[in-house]
Amino acid sequence: MSGQIEFRDVSFSYTPGTPVLEEINLSIAAGEKVAIVGATGSGKSTLISLLCRFYEVNQGQILIDGVDIREIELDELRQAISVVLQDVFLFSGSIQENVRLWEKPISRQELEWAAEQVHAAPFIRNLPEGFTTALNERGTTLSVGQRQLLAFARALAHQPRILVLDEATSSVDTETELLIQDAVHRLMENRTSLIIAHRLSTIQDCDRIVVVHKGRIVEVGSHAELLAARGIYYKLYQLQYKDQLILHPIDTSIQSPKQA
């Protein structure tokens, strides 16, 4: 897979008659970095669930490299996509088992390389048994930041063509925030990346930002373009940084998709 993604007239609802996504049309080039933003409940995470085929679209198609994902073997599809969530899932077992996931042979050299790239190696080496250190269920002996770095190492070790970060940096501790930001940039290199984030500071360098509002795409552009347009993204940005930035008075009314 090269990693080109297309959402073509995609609509979806969990409950009949209550649409979550309506007529989504979005084309993402291979290697492009695209952020998806919007208010809670706007449908951002649902897009990712449909891409991974956790649910099937009610209407329309999702294509990778021009092929409908329903025609791709499920194992092949999910091996091509790495998803890093805000709540990192770690199971009872060693660090290297948590990174490898037993899915394919990942050498110790590849394991250490991935950990080095995302800045996880230093804290792993300081653990009593390094990469063979046993973790408790959910990795409770590690800090939030350490769990995130371990999740990034897992994603990189499997070398996905498509990377999905779903609020993956929203609850990190300040001590490791800079390390995590650099790890995210390294993860996104040379692969198609979709980033869902409430913290707009983490997505300003993306190639494009897609604004979803009430299940529809209402704005698409770069960070600067969307600020200049003074639409929904501009208002979200003002609300998030109103205590830090001197901007024009905030208009708290959010436009409907038709008005936008």
pLDDT digits (tens, 9 = 90+) for 48-57: 999 999 999 9
pLDDT, mean of residues 6-32: 94
Report the amino acid identity of residue 233: Y
Query: pTM above 0.85?
Result: no
Strands 33-37 and 192-196, sheet pairing: parallel
Place of tokens 């709540």: 87
What does the alpha-carbon distance between residue 150 and residue 129 come to, in Å, rounded to a whole number?
16
Higher local confidence (pLDDT), 176 or 166: 166
pLDDT digits (tens, 9 = 90+) for 84-117: 887 788 888 888 888 888 766 788 888 899 888 8
Tokens of 136: 């408790």
Tokens of 39: 């208010």
* CA torsion, ordered 77, 82, 84, 88, to nearest 10 deg: 90
Q: Domains in the chain, ordered, with CATH? A: 34-42+80-241 (3.40.50.300)
The answer, yes or no, to whether residue 60 has pLDDT greater than 50, is yes
Q: Does residue 62 sit in helix, strand or coil?
A: strand
pLDDT, mean of residues 193-208: 82
What does the alpha-carbon distance between residue 161 and residue 1 come to, in Å, rounded to a whole number?
7
Report how far Cα 105 is from the mean position of its chain's Cα atoms. 25
Question: What local confidence, expressed as pLDDT, does residue 63 receive?
Answer: 96
Contact indicator for 31, 66 with CB cutoff of 8 Å: no
Report helix angle 144-157 to 177-188, nearest 10. 10
Higher local confidence (pLDDT), 175 or 193: 193
